Each structure stands twice: as C-alpha cells, then as structure tokens.
Structure 1
Amino acid sequence: MSIMAILDVREIDQTFVSFVGIYMKWEDPHIFWKPCHFGGLDKMRVPADMLWKPDLMIEEMIEKDKAVPNAFITINSNNLVEYVRDLMVVSTCKMQVYKFPFDIQSCNLSLKSIGYPEDELKFEAIENSTVVTEWTRQMMRNQFEWLFISMTVKNTSVRHFYQNKNVIIYTITMRRRSALYIANFLVPILFFFGLDLASFLISDHGGEKLSFKVTVLLAVTVMQLILNEILPASSDRIPLIAVYCIGMFGLIMISLLETILVMYLIEKDSASKEKKADKNRSLSEDYGDKQGNYDGDVKKWTHCACVCNVSDEPPSVLLSVAKEDKRSQLMEESNSLEKLPDELSEAVKALSLFLSRKEERKPDYWTKVAKKLDIIFFFVYVTVSALFLVVIFSVWINAKYE
C-alpha cells in the first residue's frame, strides 16, 4: 500500500482523509498456460468480476469509498494474479493537538479480511518500512497542509470474536505546515498585546483608553472562538495554543481592570474638586446675603439718625444737650457699621488667597496615587508578560510528541 495524496485532516472530527493505492498479488492454481502456445502471451487482463479476490477492508474506514473501482484484474501464465485498487479513505485518527500548530500526527490504516480467519487467508507486506516510505514519496501527488514524513508497516494477528485474523497495520506520520497559522493566528494576538501596551500612552482622562482596551479584549475573544472551531473537545490535555490565548486574554483583562481603577481614583479627585467648588459658591452667596443685610441695617440707623436730627426742638437747655449726645452716638455707630462690610470682604479675600496657595502647594492626593500605580503596574505588567511568553514558547518547542 502507498499514500498518493493526503487530502485532509479534520481535527474537530478526528478524521484522516487520504487517497491510497493498494497492490495485491496472490497465486491461483487454476490459472496456468504456456506462453509459447499463445504467441508469447504471458499475461492478460480480464474483468475483475470473473475471478476471486480477497475481501480486503480497512478497519478504520468510516465512509464508503468514492473512488472509481478498477474493473480489470491481471492474470499471469505462472498462476500469479495481480490487482490494483485505488481508494479514497475517510478513516478515524486520534489527534494529538497539544503542540498545535507545530504538531506531528500519526494515523493507522489496518488492512484485514472481512470473513476469512488467519489460517485461511494471510496477508504479508511485500516490502519493509524503508522501501514503502520511499515508494510513497515517489507516488505522492498532493500534500496540501500536511507534509508526509514516513510510513511504517507491521504484520500482526488480532482476536476478532471467536477467531484470529491477520492484520497489516500501516502507520502514516505527517507534520503540519504551521506558517499559515503563525501568520494568521499567533502573530495577530501578539499585535493585539502590543496595542494593549501602547494604550498606556493614552490619557486616563475621558473614556478613550477604556474603550480601546475593551476593543482589544473583544478581538482576542474572537480569536479564541475561531480556535474553538478548530480544536477537538476530546483532547487529553489543554493545547498550548489555548494556554497561550487564555494567558493573553488574562493579561489584557488585568490591564483593563487596572485602567478602571486608575480612572476611578482620578474621578474621585474630580468629584472632591466639584464638591469644594460648590461649597465655596455657597459661602460666597451667604456672604453676599449678609452684606445686603448689613447695608439695610446701616440705612436704618442712618434714617433713624436723620429723623432724630429733624425732630429736634429745644424746649429747654437740658433736653437739647441730651439730644445732641444721642445724635453723636448714633452717627458713630452708623460709621462703624459702614466700615464692617469692607473689613469682612478683605478677610474673605485673604482667606481665599491662603487656601488657593495651599492647594497649589499640595497636589491632588488620589491623582498622584493613580499615576504612581499606573507606572508601577506598567513595569510589572511588561515583566510578567515577557516571562509568560518565554515560558510558553520554550515549552512549545521542547514538548515531546506522544
């Protein structure tokens, strides 16, 4: 048997699709003639339905053969019968996707008889594994995504219900072409990670940085969904490419959470500033109201003083002296009340200037904490990410094939 084309390897279904050629040869004692009696004819082709053929089957085959059957069989003058059969085989194959897309797969094709036991029909390989491998390489037409490495052959006997059957097991070893997966999957995720690192240069004020990080996280999620459609769910171990995607997703998500925390701290300072501004505004309004009240009081006292001045009639010397003393006292009080708003205004201005200078000397506390946290997180983030990538790629390269 030889492999003429590796058509497809479906990881999600764990099936191997190949086009194989099977060459069979056996002796039939009823077929014999002397070529000299027939003009030197030593072999001929006859319809395949006229002679007996081995009931050969491939044990791993799960779909009916779709190739055109060979309608002829070759007979030789020395009892030898030859038959070539081409098959498009869809067979089961357990995939080892731990190192995907740098994986090497080995699939078996087991040839055996359907009804004959081992003592009635026995199969033997014509050549050894080395010759079969070279023969397959010469006949290989298409390889597509997979590169053929080697093929081994082993003859064994298996117990099938109540009888032993002879089986020839061909093991096809092939390696995946990983360049396309590197360019379309691994490198784009690294680019997304680079964009996440570059997002630290975006200002934390506003929502641009947060929306950018969310977009990058959604892009990595889309790549994970694509990967989920490729890899089988029945894998024994988590593939390294899945660990790689989960690690990148986790790092970007932690970076997103850190951005949310930084924005919360900055917003906390902004809220406190607005609260102080509202408080100062209310104080200024209260001061304006009080100043208006003081002006009213001054007008009242002035009006009273003027009334006393107009209604002063000297019925006697003692009464005129008392009224003059009272008028002078009222005038002094009104003058002191007129000076009071000016003094309060100067005191408020001095207090506001003192508080503004104090705020200039002392920056916002939570904004300062947020900036320090962002710088420390950036260096820790880069260090952890570099260690993760070094470890995952070293394990990827050095992992052993099962």
Structure 2
Amino acid sequence: MAVDSPGCSYVSLLNHLGVGPNNHTHSALRPVRNWSTPTYVTVDLYLYVIIDVNEKHQSLTTGLHMFSSGWTNELLRWDPEHFCGIYTMTIPEEYVWRPPTSIMESFDAKLSYEKSSYVNLIASGWVTTGESYKITSTCKMDLFKFPFDTQQCKLTVLTILNTIDQIRLYPGSNSADVLSGSLMVFQAQGEWDLIRINVTRQNLTIGTSVWDTVIYTIVMCRRPQLYVINLLIPVFLFLVLDLMSFFINEVQGEKLSFKVTVLLAISVLLLILHDMLPSTHDRTPLIGVFCTGIFLFVGFSIVETIAVSFLMRMASKCDLAAFSRETREKRVQEEASGQGPVVSTVKGVEQDTAIVSLLRLLLEEVRKLRQSTCPQPARHAGSACVCLKTAAKAINTLYFILYTCAAVCFLVGVFKQWYY
C-alpha cells in the first residue's frame, strides 16, 4: 500500500481490526482462535517505594511499577507492510481484553493516578502495558530480632478466574534484573532498605484446580538507629543507674525512692513497646525480653533494698536502746561512788586508825550490795546491733556482686542472639 494511501492512518488500522468503543468482542473474551489454546502472559513488577510496614497489623504498603506486562492477542494481528509500515500503536485499554491478574496477598490495591490507562499493541498481536500501583498486602513478619531484623514479604501474582489451562504466567525478568531495575527507581522511605527481590514461578493447586503464579519475594532490612537511641540505650542506662544506686546512703530513704523512679521509667518504655509489637507473635521479641529482664532486675533490687533498710532500721533501734542502758549504768555508778569525799575526809583526819579500816570495809560492802541489787544490763544488746549491721552490709555486698554478674550475663546473651 502506498504511503499516501488512506490506509496510512491509525483510524483505518483500527477499522480493519474492528477495535473501537462500540465493539466489545475484543474486550470481553479471551483473544484466542481456539478456546483450548492458553494465553501466555508475562509480568514484571518493580518496587520503587516502601511506604509503610505495620508490625502490629502484619501489613506492608508498597509502591509498584508494572513494566512491560504483556500477553498474546491472536485476534489483533496485521501486516505492517499493508498499513504503511505501522508496527505498533497505542489504544485505550478498554478496547482490548486484559488478563485479570491480581496479587494474592493484597487487600487494598489502588492505581497511582486517576487518568485512564493505555496499552501498546504490536503487529504480531503482542499487547504490553505499564502501570503504577499502591498496594497494601499481608506479610508474616518475624520480629524476634526486632529492631535488628530482616523481613521477607511475598507478592504472588496470579489470575484467579483462569486456571493454568487458560492462562500461563511467566516472569518477564529474572531476579537480578528486577533488583537492579527496582534499585534504579527505588526511593528510600522511612526505616527500610531494599536488600534483594527473588522471582520464582510456581503452581498453586487447590483441589483439582491449578493456577500459574509468579512470586516476588521482597527482602528488606530495618534501620535500627531510631530504636537504639529511643529504647535500647535509655533502658540500658536505667540498668546502669540502678547499679550505681547501691552506693547511695540507705539511712535517709533516698536509695529506695530512686530505684522506684527508675522502675516507673522502664514501665513507660514497656508501654510504648507494647503499642509497637503484635501481641500474637509466636516468639517473644528479644527487645521485649531485654526490657522485661531489666525491669525484673530493678524490681528484685527494690526488694533487696527494702530488706537491707529493715535490718539497718532494727540496728538503729538496738543502738538507741543500748545507749540508754549505758546512760543508766553510769548514773548508778556515780551514785554508788558518792561516798568518796567522806572517805577521803575521814582518811585525812584520822589516818592509821582502826576507824578508817572499818569504814573501808563498810564501803566495799555497800558497793557490792548496790551492784547485786541494781538490774544488770543486757550485755548482748551491743553484739546484736553489730550482728544486724554486719548482716545488712553482707547482704548488700553479696547482692551487688550477684546482680552485676547476672546483668552482664543477661546482656551478653541477649546481644549475642541479636547479632547471630
């Protein structure tokens, strides 16, 4: 056909193919000449943004580009030489049939733009299209190593309405090409880094029905800096402060009030952590074990402080009772020695007489009589006070050593599981 022929326009080609808004044959039915012939469809998904990862609801919101998704249309073929070399043209998507592909894990999928889409039609009958989607899908996350975790979320592309006998799905690119293409358009968003994308093709069998599926496994790594600064370091510093509180004076009650304040601060961080992590996870995340373990350390430390304070208070009461007894003893001894001046006077007046000897004997007898009639102080009071103080100091020292060793072993164990 000549170049200046009326067939050199897209309109004449569309009329020849019978494609248009009033012809629903090409858009309603699968485009094969024999109904038993399967339609071959290729898909290509490229990740360009990670919008949100919700650990509480186990969901992933992503932005996806669908490039060069194509299929064979046996009813829309022409010879370019008969139409002035027209090899390809772009037509509205509602003019032709499109495979009903969907993502199995998705529960909310939206186009990234409102205008109508177009498809690219090639002379061989190959139809290609490209669109951008915002998809929210389910993702079973392993949060055991949170916030040093790596997540794998799957996006399974399939055609629910057509089994493998009708539509065959194939990935348009391998894993390396999809990853490199995604990294070229990827926009870092929030706390996640894209590590790799694995592309596999599998069959999904339910009962007697079999579907072709293309699975895109997105592997992403979390950036833990924010959680380290806002959660891990404060909780660790609270543990260090609790260890340092063993050097605070226990007499005035400052040590106990300080430990209670530290315990309340850890409780606030535990409430924040509870709002972030799911409550139905199979394994308790290590960050929960870390915070709860330090909470228990501080709690047992408060119990130990209360016990030591009780012993010190009993020792103080014992010292006060012993001091009052010593005061009474001194008073009794002073009263008993009140005859001293009389004896010295008699001694000065009548030395070397028999009366002086008699008075001395009488004085000795009076002293013995007073000592036998006065109540004897409890000699064990002072030793009991010393025993209470010694026990309190021994308990405090022993607990500090055990507390430090247990805390170090606990931290080493937790951090070892985090990094290995």
Using structure 2 for the length normalisation, give the TM-score. 0.74
Matches within 5 A, 1:383-394: 383-394=405-416
CA contact (8 A) 2:47 2:182 kept: yes
How far the C-alpha of 1:365 sits from its partner, in A, is 2.8
Matching residue within 44, 49, 57 for 1:13: 57
| Corresponding position: 1:29 with 2:74 | yes
How far the C-alpha of 1:132 sits from its partner, in A, is 1.4
Closer, same or farther: CA 32–262 of 1 in aligned 2, 3 Å: same
Matching residue within 261, 268, 275 for 2:307: 261
SS of 1:117's equivalent? coil
Matching residue within 57, 63, 77 for 2:102: 57
Q: Please give the alpha-carbon distance, in whole angstroms, between the structure 2 residues aligned to 1:16 and 1:166.
A: 24
Task: Give the letter for the 2:102 counterpart.
Answer: M
Q: Please give the alpha-carbon distance, in whole angstroms, between the structure 2 residues aligned to 1:363 and 1:280.
A: 14
CA contact (8 A) 2:71 2:126 kept: yes
Matches within 5 A, 1:243-254: 243-254=289-300
Task: Give the letter for the 2:389 counterpart.
Answer: T
Closer, same or farther: CA 182–200 of 1 in aligned 2, 3 Å: same
Q: Please give the alpha-carbon distance, in whole angstroms, between the structure 1 residues aligned to 2:109 and 2:66.
A: 16
The residue aligned with 1:208 is: 254
The residue aligned with 1:151 is: 197
Task: Give the letter for the 1:73 counterpart.
Answer: V
How far the C-alpha of 1:137 sits from its partner, in A, is 1.3
CA contact (8 A) 2:145 2:286 kept: yes
What is the percent sequence identity of the aligned residues?
31
How far the C-alpha of 1:202 sits from its partner, in A, is 0.9
Q: Please give the alpha-carbon distance, in whole angstroms, between the structure 2 residues aligned to 1:167 and 1:202.
A: 66
How far the C-alpha of 1:81 sits from its partner, in A, is 0.9
Q: Please give the alpha-carbon distance, in whole angstroms, between the structure 1 residues aligned to 2:245 and 2:182.
A: 53
SS of 2:163's equivalent? coil
Q: Please give the alpha-carbon distance, in whole angstroms, between the structure 2 residues aligned to 1:37 and 1:181.
A: 66
CA contact (8 A) 1:16 1:90 kept: yes
SS of 2:158's equivalent? strand
How far the C-alpha of 1:369 sits from its partner, in A, is 1.9
Question: Which whole-Å deviations, capped at 9, do the CAs of 1:4-55 have from their partners, x for residues lacking one?
Answer: 1111111110001111112311122232344455554432222111111111
| Corresponding position: 1:225 with 2:271 | yes
The residue aligned with 1:174 is: 220
CA contact (8 A) 1:7 1:142 kept: no
CA contact (8 A) 2:263 2:299 kept: yes
Which stretch has the larger CA shift, 161-170 or 16-25? 161-170
Matches within 5 A, 1:343-382: 364-382=386-404
Q: Please give the alpha-carbon distance, in whole angstroms, between the structure 2 residues aligned to 1:361 and 1:164.
A: 88
How far the C-alpha of 1:397 sits from its partner, in A, is 1.4
Task: Give the letter for the 1:55 counterpart.
Answer: P
Question: Which whole-Å deviations, capped at 9, do the CAs of 1:103-122 have from their partners, x for residues lacking one?
Answer: 11101101111211111111
Question: Which whole-Å deviations, capped at 9, do the CAs of 1:320-367 have from their partners, x for residues lacking one?
Answer: xxxxxxxxxxxxxxxx9xx99xx89xx79xx99x97999889963312
| Corresponding position: 1:198 with 2:244 | yes
CA contact (8 A) 1:107 1:173 kept: yes
CA contact (8 A) 2:203 2:211 kept: yes
Closer, same or farther: CA 86–271 of 1 in aligned 2, 3 Å: same
CA contact (8 A) 2:51 2:189 kept: yes
Task: Give the letter for the 2:399 counterpart.
Answer: F
Question: Which whole-Å deviations, capped at 9, do the CAs of 1:115-160 have from their partners, x for residues lacking one?
Answer: 1111111110112112211111112123321111111111111124
CA contact (8 A) 2:168 2:212 kept: yes
Which stretch has the larger CA shift, 234-243 or 28-37? 28-37
Q: Please give the alpha-carbon distance, in whole angstroms, between the structure 1 residues aligned to 2:419 and 2:241.
A: 26
Q: Please give the alpha-carbon distance, in whole angstroms, between the structure 2 residues aligned to 1:227 and 1:270.
A: 44
The residue aligned with 1:47 is: 92
Superposition CA RMSD, Å = 3.2
| Corresponding position: 1:112 with 2:158 | yes
Structure with max Cα Rg: 1
The residue aligned with 1:397 is: 419
The residue aligned with 2:31 is: none
SS of 1:186's equivalent? helix
Q: Please give the alpha-carbon distance, in whole angstroms, between the structure 2 residues aligned to 1:232 and 1:361.
A: 58
Structure 1 unmatched runs, 5+: 291-335
Using structure 1 for the length normalisation, give the TM-score. 0.77
The number of residues matched between the two structures is 342
Task: Give the letter for the 2:52 counterpart.
Answer: D
